[in-house]
Structure 1
Amino acid sequence: MTRRLHDRHRAVLPDWLALYYKQPVEITHGEGRHVWDADGNKYLDFFGGILTTMTAHALPEVTKAIAEQAGRIIHTSTLYLNRQMVELAERVAQLSGIPDARVFFTTSGTEANDTALLLATAYRNSNQILAMRNSYHGRSFSAVGITGNHAWSPTGLSPLQTLYVHGGVRARGPYAHLSDSQFIEACVADLEDLLGHTRNVAALIAEPIQGVGGFTSPPDGLYAAFREVLDRHGILWITDEVQTGWGRTGDHFWGWQAHAQSGPPDLLTFAKGIGNGMSIGGVVARAEVMNCLDANSISTFGGSPVTMAAGLANLTYLLEHDLQGNARRVGGLLIERLRAIGAQLPVVREVRGRGLMAGIELVRPGTEEANPEAAAAVLEAAREGGLLIGKGGGHDTSVLRVAPPLTLTVAEAEEGAAILERALRTV
């Protein structure tokens, strides 16, 4: 059955539309932290549809909100007042930490980053953007133009002039041997030097923890140090919180807060987890920046009544059940367990991460060389063992990505770690 569906998929969908596994899986339903495929196999889900099923599969509070709203009205567009959109915007604005914040809702993280780039370039009257090496910001024409990971950037054409900055990857590259403070100092010096060869840069866009790049991040405080330089030049800071937002890192509600010495960013983009599977993205910006556009605009699907109802229910559940705290506690246990496993296996170079966002980097034993074949083998073995995980890490895709729903229990964390250990030992 699944093989026939795969054949039909290949006949009508693009070749570049990636699928996991040699024999792709059709997921038919889910509950809590588990999903089932069309053949009846049950899996513990440690990837959540790319960090999107943030709280749980089939969470009653969210499914009820969706059904009730759909029973009233599904669509109106932003040409009409929308109570759910206003209420969610009020909560997101307050949670963002950005003063006098305005919120614009989109349908995806790609569209959110597009909007942030539009705002920044219009506000600064410049098409120059600073981005981080190894970064990923979406699949649109403008987003691939600022993506510093060539495996996910299929064209060099772009409406933007992009300049790439050091700092997103701590453990590789020319500064890897430095201490954290020296690393930050070297990256700031590189930024200063880069700006000496440019004029009127619009913004720096950065993921606090790089998602597709393999859950790698700089030392805490790097972006605060960058901010001091950016402010001197009037350059805006856009934090891409599509994967790091809503408490997933455990220590903070937003990834930027690990660099909070500089205060909140000028713009914040979000998506994925807030809808728990529904298509919600958005941008938060201070009013001066958000309101800088001098043309009319609308969104046909951004901020739709159904998705806003889902977002409100999901955010309420997350806050009332302290899922950020659960990410810190259970995620901390999971990462320590994975580090203990990795310490015994020469194929594991590093286990890194924060909260329920962990990356396991694989290498060829005895070397620093990336090992994408091992990552592919572990992905398959984990699936056979009943566990779904992800991959990333740049063009070599040698990092296993582990990002379960934030309601993960200690018992499930142990179960998943045991399956991962068996899978890792197969390579």
Structure 2
Amino acid sequence: MTSTHTDLTKRHRAVLPDWLALYYDEPIDIERGEGRHVWDAEGNRYLDFFGGILTTMTAHALPEVTAAVTEQAGKVLHTSTLYLNRPMIELAERVAELAAIEDPRVFFTTSGTEANDTALLLATAYRGSNQVLALRNSYHGRSFSSLAVTGNRSWSPTSLSPVQTAYVHGSRRRGTPLAHLSDEELTAACVADLEDVLGQLHGNVACLIAEPIQGVGGFTTPPDGLFARFKEVLDRHGILWISDEVQTGWGRTGEHFWGWQAHDARGAPEIVTFAKGIGNGLSIGGVIARADVMNSVRANSISTFGGSPVTAAGALANLDYLIANDLQGNAARVGAILHEQLDSALGRVPAVVEVRGKGLMIGVELAHADGSPAPEIASEVLEGSRRRGVLIGKGGLDGNVLRIAPPLSLTESEARDGGRILLAALEEVGRR
């Protein structure tokens, strides 16, 4: 008898693109969720340590979000930005309060990709330049313009580009000539590299776009203070800073609400992009920008689906729940427990060469004895964790980094249970 998952996999592959990646040798259909757990279509229960790629920020089936969406859906689903939209305005007001940017304006999109597209449009129009700086190993989305600033070969299928992008060193250390440097030395080397790259361009550079912690890149984490030093250089040249907070925003790192705040920058980014967690699964993203930058677009513009009444109502309920329950503080406390557990694999499981990240955004890098990346080991651990009832992700330039990012309401007991299972999966591979 054909299983539910086997049948659905065949149907998926018959009608969807070959390049649409699926996790696991035997892919699973996640049918429902509650809290930090999900169930597949065959009744198996899992502790969700990836949250639909860092998107289920608070909890699965959060009653407050469900109620807000249901109430709004009973009124009107869609109007567009051509009309006043109370839920969108109320959400924008709340985001602006939390923005930590002077005189902020907020524009909503339907995804992080679209948010980064919009940020690039704002920066290039404001500066009158199509020259853009980005970090090596970065990922900013799957559209033509966001791929043009993505510095990770695994996720960039074309070299064609609407902008001229120059890549600078920033977050990734292992596998680079900068791997042996201390934090202070790395920061100095990256600033020198930025200055050198700027010296090779035509003066009027539009922006630097950067993730405070690289997501798809394997949760590579720069030294605190790096972007403050970058901003000193950028400000001298009038270059805008776009902080891509699609994965780091809303307190996931535990220590700050926004990832950029770890750098004690003398002045905030001019533009911040966000998505994923704010909607808790609803399709929403957006851009926060200083008013003069946001208002610099000299053409008519609308968004058919950005900030729709239903997604805005759900996102506002989700954001209110996050703040009221101090989930940022929980990410710091519970993340430290999980991080400590995974640290115990260092020196005990030979393939584990680094455990990094902040809060509930943790990466475990795997390598062979000769130091070369071990993507096949990462795949084995992914499979082993699923068999034991935990879902995680993977990333990195070579696909050799485990990505662990549970909902921010994760409890201490769930962290310990999940950590124990991850260690068991790592040790099983290590024994083989």
Pick the TM interval, shorter chain. over 0.9
Look up the match of 1:277. Answer: 281
State yes or no: 1:32 paired with 2:35. Answer: yes
Q: Which residue of 2 aligns with 1:406?
A: 408
Cα deviation, residue 331, structure 1: 0.3
Aligned twin of 1:419: 421
Q: Structure 1: how far apart are the matches of 2:66 and 2:267?
A: 36
**Amino acid across the alignment from 1:419:** I
Distance 1:329 1:279 in 2: 29
Return the alpha-carbon distance in structure 2 between the equivalents of residues 274 and 367 of structure 1: 41
Distance 2:406 2:17 in 1: 28
Separation (CA, whole Å) in 2 of partners of 1:252 and 1:215: 16
- Alignment-derived partner of residue 270 in structure 2: 266
Counterpart amino acid of residue 403 in structure 2: R
| Aligned match for 1:226, one of 225, 230, 235 | 230
State the match for 1:253 in structure 2. Answer: 257
1: CA distance, partners of 2:254 / 2:182: 24
1:93 to 93, 96, 101: 96
- Answer yes or no: is 1:65 the counterpart of 2:68: yes
In 1, Cα distance between equivalents of 2:309 and 2:68: 10
For 1:414 and 1:291, the matched residues in 2 are separated by 48
Unaligned runs of 5+ in 2: none
- Structure 2 partner of 1:136: 139
Correspondence for 1:216: 220
1:286 aligns with 2:295: no
Q: Secondary structure of the equivalent of 2:106? A: strand
AA matched with 2:49: F
Paired residues in the alignment total 425
On the 8 A contact 1:131/1:204 being kept in 2, the answer is yes
**SS of alignment partner, residue 261 of structure 1:** coil
TM-score by length of 2: 0.97
Q: How does 1:315-330 map to 2 (within 5 A)?
A: 315-330=319-334
Tell me what 1:110 maps to. Answer: 113
Q: Is the contact made by 2:341 and 2:420 (CA closer than 8 Å) also made in structure 1?
A: no
Equivalent in the alignment of 1:333 = 337
Partner SS state of residue 344, structure 2? helix
Supply the RMSD in Å over aligned alpha carbons: 0.7
Q: How does 1:1-400 map to 2 (within 5 A)?
A: 1-199=4-202, 200-364=204-368, 366-394=369-397, 396-400=398-402
Q: Distance in 2 between matches of 1:184 and 1:418?
A: 35
Asked whether the equivalents of residues 249 and 356 of structure 1 are also in contact (C-alpha less than 8 Å), the reply is yes
SS in 2 for 1:341: coil
Contact 1:248–1:355 under 8 Å retained in 2: yes
- TM-score, structure 1 normalization: 0.99
For structure 1, which segment, 92-101 or 402-411, has the greater mean C-alpha deviation from structure 2 after superposition?
A: 92-101
CA distance in 2, matches of 1:353, 1:332: 10
Deviations 1:172-205 (A, max 9, x none): 4112211111111111111111111112110000
**Over 3 Å off, 4+ runs:** none
SS in 1 for 2:306: coil
What is the deviation of 1:167?
1.2
The alignment-based identity, stated in percent, is 70
Q: How far apart are residue 168 of structure 1 and its match?
A: 1.7
Q: Which amino acid aligns with 2:388?
A: G
Contact 2:231 2:265 in 1 (8 A): no
| Inter-partner Cα distance in structure 2 for 1:398 and 1:183 | 23
Determine the C-alpha separation between the residues in 1 that align with 2:80 and 2:265. 39
Distance 2:207 2:167 in 1: 12
CA contact (8 A) 2:272 2:287 kept: yes
Aligned-pair distance for 1:343? Answer: 3.2
What is the deviation of 1:262?
2.0
Q: Is the 8 A contact 1:330 1:409 kept in 2?
A: yes
Q: Determine helix, strand or coil for the equivalent of 1:204.
A: strand
Q: CA deviation at 1:261?
A: 2.9
In 1, Cα distance between equivalents of 2:207 and 2:162: 15
SS of 1:193's equivalent in the other structure is helix
Give 1:425's aligned amino acid: E
Inter-partner Cα distance in structure 2 for 1:373 and 1:227: 38
Tell me which moved more, 280-289 or 339-348: 339-348
CA distance in 2, matches of 1:414, 1:152: 33
Q: 1: CA distance between counterparts of 2:90 and 2:187?
A: 39
Q: Matches of 1:106 and 1:147 in 2, distance apart?
A: 20
Could you say what secondary structure the match of 1:262 adopts?
coil
Identify unmatched segments of 5+ residues in structure 1. none
- Residue type matched to 1:115 in 2? T
- Report how far residue 161 of structure 1 moved: 0.4
**Which deviations, in whole Å up to 9, do the C-alpha atoms of 1:220-272 show, x marking residues without a partner?**
01110000000011100000000000000000000000112322100000000
